[in-house]
Structures are given as structure tokens and as C-alpha cells.
Amino acid sequence: MKLSARSPLLAVVLCLLAPFSFADPGTTADPGGGSQKEKVLHLPMRSAGPGSLDPILGSTVYDTRSCNYVYETLLQYKYLKRPYELEPLLLEAMPTTEDGLTWNFELKKGVLFHDDECFPGGVGRELVTDDVFYSWRRIVDPAYELKSWWLLKELIEGLDEYKEEQGKRVEAGGAFDYSAPIAGFKKVDDHRFQIVLREPVYRFMWILPMAKLSIVPREAVEKYGTGFSRHPVGTGPFLMKEDDWVTNQSMVFTKNPKYHPDFYPTEWMPEDEELGLHEAAGKRLPFVDRVEVTFFVQENPMWLEFQAGKLDYTQVPAENYLEAFHKRSQRLKKEFAEKGVVSHAVPLLDFIFRAFNMEDPLVGGFEPKQRALRQAIAMATDLYEFNSSFYNGINVIYDGMIPPGMDGYPEDGKGPITWAEADLERARELMVEAGYPNGEGLPVIDYYTSLSGNIPEQAELFKRQLAQIGVQLNLRLQNFAQLIEAVDKKKATMFSFSWSSDYPDAENNLALFYGPNEAPGSNHFNYKRAEYDRLYEQILPMVPSPERTKLLEKMRDMVMADTPYIGSMARTRFYVINPWLKNYKPDETFYNWVKYMDLDESARDL
């Protein structure tokens, strides 16, 4: 899953940052006997950085992005193809199956883990079948808080039983047994294996590119313990040393000199040719020697760094949107285009919400009065004012949790149950039904949200909107890691962030309300309704069809009626790219695109 606190900017003083020095990127050896300039990418991250580089502990988009530098999965998305398609990464070919239950896999030979002290002589060994089984077993080890268990729950034959057995073993004071057999893990040899599912599940292929299913070496996990989250050892195109991660400031990744053969794609879309995205076809990856990532909690400095040529690309902060684009046409302004800057608009599989903890005694529960309180708060929330004030009116406002572009999205964004339009008169009536006329007797509600960007200003607007019906909020502004921790531990009464879908199917978003996925899993709302859970389990093996669509819509509207959240909005992210950055096609469904990037230093002088 990918959580995000992405937001527009707050103006801050640029000198408070500690940006990298870009004056001399250094040199690297030239096979011809001389030397050449190192290729160094300078990229932004709109946050205080990741919380963990352990793939199964990370829960934010920033964790996922960072893990993709150093770790790899069995499959990946085709970089340039749309609609999305999958292809092998650590596999020789796509997995095969005859019955949808038993899947056959074959690993590439000669894929090496990074050189690291955890291995004999400090030399990385070859990736083998046991590494896949070990990495996926970690997901059910209670030592890792079961944060990623929702992905594999009730999916693989014998895995749930293994989880229960090992959980009891650990509770009794024993050690988690990574060697105990699992019926659905079948080793053929060091490079071939089978995964046996409990039943055919449509999403199985879509979860294989997710960072949580990255392959890690047991030696590194055992040597570094809790320090493994800051000492990544993978098979990916880049390496990172612990000293290269400066908390709240920056990260540096260097090229993996032993990276296995991986090549720039030979498939692309017709529109990619105009941008030259096809020109590197078939060339060996990665192209650059080093990647320097700067964290920007506030966005104005990021925007200024891009304009000064110190960042290769940037997402355009909402408050700077009209500096770069014409509002009506959404076309890049002349002064940017004349410098060779290229723009991309990326519609996001986005679910922006304000949520209730359904286990909280004040705002949770399914009794009529409890539901009426949540609906009153939803009816007092003016999403159109948020869109106009903070997103230049560009966001798509829609009913439900299924974003635009997916099956189950309501026509024109309007479902049969809607809270999108503020209605204060109806909201006040609902407050009476809830037993709190004009807010009388209602305690102050703690509202947890991010302190980055202009989220504090958004929180103040939300507070003012709810005050109109007598609901008082206590704003609890947190950095994003603290926010997620509070939500995972069910401490947040109300909270807000956004969800970016892990894969392009509505089941991923509907999983957010599946009872067994409760926090610290993906069901941050702790929404539990037996009828909904039965429907969710029913759609898991179904392929896209009109029958499946009807079930998706039924589940969508069921949640809307219970109102465990207020929403929804989906963003289009606007990127601007300086002319020297090559091969970049922005995307926020997957994040391994840095290995495809290249630099043309001669373009800096144009």
C-alpha cells in the first residue's frame, strides 16, 4: 500500500535547508584510459523522507520509492506501456499456471545480492529460491508487526496456518521457525519453485511487483536486526550505505557495479517518440552513477531549487501551478517551454479522505446515532472549497473509494449515496439525530493530520467548516511517520491522508475496508461489517465482468452509507522536467523508474 501526505506548499526560508552542492559532480573511470564526469541525478522527495527501508515495514509512498532503488521484486511494470502491463524482473519469464492455483516460477541465474559484510568475505551471493520463501515468510513473523500480512492473508495454501502455529510458538517463548514447511511453497531447485494458492485470485499477479514482496537476504536481516531498516541489502540497481541517509535531510544512492543484465524497454506508446523516450531502447541499465535525493517537507524551496537548475525534475506544488501553467488549457507557459522544460500530467489512482476510527467510542460504531454523527460531519465538509482553495479546482471530486479510471467508479463521479456537496441544514438535522443539537454535549474531537506543506491550512479550514454545526476539533499535527504510527495503533480518533492504489484494480481499494485488514493493516478505518467481508471474499477470484462490477458498486455504496470516511478527491500530478534529464516518464503507480533515467549534460547550456 502506498500512503501519502503529498500537498501544496508553505513558504519557508530557503537557507534553512541543507541542499547538496552541485558544482562538481566528480569523475569516474573511463574505459579508454581517461576520466569522465560522473552522471549524478538530483531528485526531490516531498516529505521528511522514508521511515524504513525494510520492505515489509514501510507503509508510505516514500518508503516504497526508496526501497525501489535497492530492492527488486519478481515482476515489474512495463515502464512505457499504458494501460499497465507486467513483465519479469527477477524471473526468466512470466509465471505460468494451468488451473489458476499452482503457479510455476523460474528465477534468473546470476542475480547477485549487493556486496556486504553480512556475506562471507563481504561478497554478495546469488539469489535463490530459498530467498523468495524467506522474504515472504517474514511477512507473517510477529516481530515485524504483521504490517504487510494483509497482502498474503488467505492467499497461499498453508500460509495462514503457518502464521497461527508460529504465532503460538513465539507467544510461548519459542523462536519463529523459518524452516517449518508451508504447503503452498514448493521448491523444485535453486532457481525453480511453485506457489500454490488456496483458490484462484485475480489480484495475485498484481501484487508481485509490490515493494513489500521484494526479495531480501536472510544474512542481512539477521546480522543487522532492527538496523536492517537503515542498512538495505538487495539486488537492485543502486546501493545505499547507512551514512548516506541523513535523517530529515537527504539520501544518496550509488550505482550497483554488479547489477544483473537489465535493459531499457523496446516497447513504448506512440506519444513517447515525440519526447525521445524510445531512443535508449535495448541499452543496459542503470545509466547514472549516483542519485542524490533531497527531502522537502515544505515545497517552496523545492520549487526554487528546480528553477535554479539544482533539481532534474519536480512535482509542481499547487500554489506554484499558475506560475508554470495556464489555468484553462493546462499548457506549460512560454517562459518554461523556451528553456526546454517538458511537462507531464499524471492522473493519480487517488483516494484523498478524512477518516474516522470505527473502534473509537465517540465517532465509531454502527448504531443510528453514531452513524448520524459521522454523516453530519460529512455533510458539513465542503470538498469543493478544498479543491478551489488548495488544488486550483483541478481535483476530481467523487463518491466512494474507487478512483477514476477503475471499474466501479461511479458515472461522472456521482453515486446513489453522496456526501460531496455540503449541506449545513441537513448536517444540523443529523446532529440532532446524533443527540448533539448544535454540538451540545459533544466532546472535542482529536484530528490527526500531517504538518507538511499546506496541510495545516487545510486542517484549519476543516476545523472552521465543522464549527458551523458545533463540532470542535483539536488539531494534532504530526510528521508523517508519527501520523501513521498513531493510526496503526488505533490512537487517532479522526485522521487524514491519501491512498494511492498499489495496482489498477478496485479490489485494492475495497481491501481498505475488509475487516481482517484492520490496523496496523491497510484497513486504517477499522471498519468491520460481516456482509461487506463476505462480498469482498466473493470478488477475490473473479475476473472483470458485469457481475463483478455490480458487486464492486454494492460494496462501494455500503461503505458510503456507513460513512467511515469523508471524501473523495483524486489529483492530477503535474511534473516539470529540466531538459538535461532523459528517459523520464513520470508515474505514481510504480516507482522503479530511476534506473531508466539518463542525463545529457550538454543540454544544460541550451
| Beta carbons within 8 Å of 300's beta carbon, 6+ residues apart | 9, 10, 11, 12, 14, 317, 319, 320
User: Per the domain annotation, does 333 fall within a domain?
Assistant: no
User: Per the domain annotation, does 319 fall within a domain?
Assistant: no
Encoded amino acid at 381, one letter: T
Other beta carbons within 10 angstroms of residue 79's beta carbon come to: 20
CA 169 and chain centroid, separation: 33
How many CA atoms are closer than 13 Å to the CA of 12, on its beta-carbon side?
A: 19
SS3 call for 248: coil
User: Per the domain annotation, does 435 fall within a domain?
Assistant: yes
Tally of domains in the chain: 1
Give the pLDDT of residue 605: 64
Beta bridge partners of 88: 75
C-alpha separations of 454 from 237, 319, 464, 475, 521 in Å:
35, 9, 16, 14, 27
User: Per the domain annotation, does 359 fall within a domain?
Assistant: yes
Angle at 308 (CA atoms; ends 307, 309), nearest 5 degrees: 90
Low-confidence ranges of the chain (pLDDT < 70): 1-36, 605-606
User: Per the domain annotation, does 482 fall within a domain?
Assistant: yes
Q: Three cell numbers at 159?
A: 500460509
CB 44 within 8 A of CB 305: yes
- CA distance linking residue 261 with residue 304, whole number of Å: 38
- Angle at which helices 368-380 and 455-467 pack, to 10 degrees? 120
Beta bridge partners of 268: none
Expressed as residue numbers, the domain containing 472 is 350-570
User: Per the domain annotation, does 604 fall within a domain?
Assistant: no
Angle at 381 (CA atoms; ends 375, 384), nearest 5 degrees: 135
Give the pLDDT of residue 536: 95
User: Per the domain annotation, does 184 fall within a domain?
Assistant: no
Give the pLDDT of residue 420: 81
Phi, psi torsion values for 570, nearest 5 degrees: -130, 135
pLDDT, tens digit, 9 for 90 and up, residues 378-400: 999 999 999 999 988 889 999 99
Strand ranges inside 198-263, DSSP E: 238-239, 245-246, 250-255
What is the distance between the terminal CA atoms of the chain, rounded to a whole angstrom? 41
- CA distance linking residue 485 with residue 426, whole number of Å: 35
The total number of residues written for the chain in this structure: 606
Strand ranges inside 264-338, DSSP E: 290-295, 313-315
Pairing mode of beta strands 494-500, 445-450: parallel
- CA distance linking residue 198 with residue 478, whole number of Å: 41
User: Per the domain annotation, does 56 fall within a domain?
Assistant: no
What is the domain-level CATH number for residue 488? 3.10.105.10
- Provide the 8-state DSSP code for 582: E
Task: Output the CA torsion 556→558→561→562 (10° steps).
Answer: -110
CA 480 and chain centroid, separation: 13
CB 7 within 8 A of CB 477: no
pLDDT, tens digit, 9 for 90 and up, residues 67-107: 999 999 999 999 999 989 999 999 999 999 999 999 999 99
- CA distance linking residue 562 with residue 565, whole number of Å: 9
Q: Three cell numbers at 556?
A: 462501494
Task: Report which of 79, 75, 206 is spatially closest to residue 593, judged by C-alpha positions.
Answer: 79
Cα dihedral 329, 330, 335, 337 sign: negative
Cα dihedral 553, 555, 556, 558 sign: positive
